[in-house]
Amino acid sequence: MSLRLAVLGLGRGAMLTVPALAAHPAVEIVAGCDPDGAARAGFGGRCFDSAEALFAWGGFDAVYIASPHEYHAAHAVMAARAGRHALVEKPMAVSLAEAAAMVRAAEAAGTVLMVGPSHGYDPPVELAASLIESGDAGPLRLIHAFAFTDFLYRPRRPAELDTALGGGVVFSQATHQIDMARRLAASPVASVRAWTGGWGGRGSEGAFTALLTFDSGAAASLTYSGQARYDSDALAGWVGELGWAKQPQAHARTRAALERTDEAGAKAARTFAAGWPQPQAPTHHEHLGSLLALCERADLELTPDGVIVHGDDGPRGVAAPLPPVSRANVAEAFVRAVAGAAPPLLNGRWGLESLAVCHAILASAREGRDVVPADLLTGLI
Ligand SMILES: NC(=O)c1ccc[n+]([C@@H]2O[C@H](COP(=O)([O-])OP(=O)(O)OC[C@H]3O[C@@H](n4cnc5c(N)ncnc54)[C@H](O)[C@@H]3O)[C@@H](O)[C@H]2O)c1
């Protein structure tokens, strides 16, 4: 099978994921689309300046949607109506109504709608999920995850700093931790109690902490700051989020660079305008901060290399094999879904439920109460 794939949005997210899609033997990248001429020039080949022009051409089977959050819904609905499969970046949309419309459109058309990549696909998360599923560790009781990053000080578009447009760390980063926790808990989120804060002078939410309970009775505490001077990768042997070695000065450098730069220009320079990323075999897995999954008979510590199982006999490392290219498992899951071999776990309904947890975090912080994510979806789907 050959999957003719178009890439819609040639920015930072696409730079991170397109190498895995392009490396998949069943995928042929046939077109790109971006309103920005420099990004199109760097991508090369057949390119269109609008989604409308891309779909009017139509020479593709599936589309990877990596446009800014606020366009995901329009682009995914366009894809479904054109009978094209879609891999849509996280978060799948900004509003729950938009996300529900995406799910309805794909289900009506019978097309694949897969959401990601998110850190929910990281091989150590997949390994931990399979270890929990095996039952050896006993039932999962508690997840403790935290990440302290410089997310908010990397160059950003104005929309990325405006909550109404999906800006801030809840929409962009909580999604990762929610997907990680949901994969391990394998149970619907029952309730959310949360707090958000932003003291970094960047607008929108810069940090949050959230307590999730699951129908299974398990709980997860998720904490994130994207305005941190402390770097939680100190606890990951100074392996950064993308799986490469990083320096302890990284956060300080990010802040200093932002002060002396034209932010819009710096953001644009991280797109395909800089040309195709050079393929490099990963030395560690992608990861986001730290995560401990405490089960009845063992505690699982996720690392950039796999999982350390802390059992009655002490700690035992289980390595997750390195892929030839990061995110290869995401490309494989999408290809298999399109081929009808296996429906994606992180499908449109999954993305909608994770987005509902993001909204529950914001609502709980605003209103000072427990929020049931399922209540936010009433009447939408
Ligand atoms: N999974 C990941 O690791 C990851 C990493 C970064 C970004 N992302 C996601 O990717 C998406 C884009 O974020 P980004 O950081 O790449 O932003 P970006 O600004 O770097 O890239 C967005 C690109 O989309 C283009 N664009 C704008 N409007 C468009 C439209 N109407 N149609 C097509 N293209 C359009 C822009 O010109 C730009 O080139 C977001 O949803 C973000 O959450 C995911």
pTM of the model: 0.97
Whether 22 is covered by a domain: the verdict is yes
For the cut 80, the answer to whether the pLDDT of residue 234 exceeds it is yes
Q: Are strands 3-8 and 62-65 parallel, antiparallel or unpaired?
A: parallel
pLDDT value, residue 280: 82
Closest ligand 1 atom to residue 36 Cα is 37
Query: Mean pLDDT over residues 366-374, rounded?
Result: 98
Q: Is 165 found in the same domain as 280? A: yes
Residue 355 near residue 141, CB atoms below 8 Å: no
Range of the structural domain that residue 306 is part of: 120-319
Q: Which amino acid is at 129?
A: A
CB proximity list for 329: less than 8 A, separation 6 or greater = 121, 123, 126, 323
Tokens encoding 239: 């392996």
Q: Which amino acid is at 321?
A: P
pLDDT tens digits along 282-291:
999 999 999 9
Q: Is 288 found in the same domain as 153? A: yes
Q: Is 241 found in the same domain as 205? A: yes
CA torsion angle 48 53 57 60 (round to 10): 60
**DSSP 8-state code for residue 30:** E
pLDDT value, residue 1: 66
pLDDT value, residue 381: 85
Task: State in Å: Cα 11 to ligand 1 middle.
Answer: 5
For the cut 80, the answer to whether the pLDDT of residue 163 exceeds it is yes
For the cut 70, the answer to whether the pLDDT of residue 219 exceeds it is yes
pLDDT tens digits along 73-119:
999 999 999 999 999 999 999 999 999 999 999 999 999 999 999 99
Q: Is 227 found in the same domain as 207? A: yes
CATH number of the domain residue 54 falls in: 3.40.50.720
SS3 27: strand
pLDDT value, residue 200: 84
290 lines ligand 1 (CB under 6 A): no
Task: State in Å: Cα 223 to ligand 1 middle.
Answer: 25
Q: Round to whole Å and give the CA distance between 109 and 148.
A: 41
Pocket test for ligand 1, best of 34, 286, 288, 329 (most atoms within 8 A of CB): 34
Q: Which residue has the higher pLDDT, 35 or 268?
A: 35
Q: Is 145 found in the same domain as 179? A: yes
41 lines ligand 1 (CB under 6 A): no
Distances (CA, A) of 79 to 5, 51, 63, 353: 12, 10, 7, 21
Q: For residue 94, which of 171, 159, 157 has the smallest C-alpha distance?
A: 171
Tokens encoding 210: 């959230």
pLDDT tens digits along 275-324:
999 878 899 999 999 999 999 999 999 999 999 999 999 999 999 999 99
**b/e sequence 206-227, b meaning 16+ C-beta within 10 Å:** bbbbbbbbbeeebbbbbbbbbb
Q: Is 277 found in the same domain as 165? A: yes
8 lines ligand 1 (CB under 6 A): yes
**DSSP 8-state code for residue 172:** I
Q: Is 310 found in the same domain as 225? A: yes
47 lines ligand 1 (CB under 6 A): no
What count of other Cβ atoms lies within 10 Å of the Cβ of residue 366? 11
Sign of CA dihedral 147, 153, 154, 156: positive
Task: State in Å: Cα 68 to ligand 1 middle.
Answer: 4
Whether 354 is covered by a domain: the verdict is no
Distances (CA, A) of 93 to 166, 175, 250, 333, 350: 8, 11, 30, 21, 12
Residue 293 near residue 184, CB atoms below 8 Å: yes
CATH number of the domain residue 187 falls in: 3.30.360.10
Whether 48 is covered by a domain: the verdict is yes
Query: Mean pLDDT over residues 324-336, rounded?
Result: 97
Task: State in Å: Cα 89 to ligand 1 middle.
Answer: 8
**b/e sequence 309-320, b meaning 16+ C-beta within 10 Å:** bbeeeeeeebeb
State the first-to-last Cα distance of the chain, in angstroms, to the nearest integer.
Answer: 33
Task: State in Å: Cα 225 to ligand 1 middle.
Answer: 21
12 lines ligand 1 (CB under 6 A): yes
**b/e sequence 89-111, b meaning 16+ C-beta within 10 Å:** bbbbbbebebbbbbbebbeebeb
Q: Is 343 found in the same domain as 197? A: no
Structurally, how many domains does the chain consist of? 2
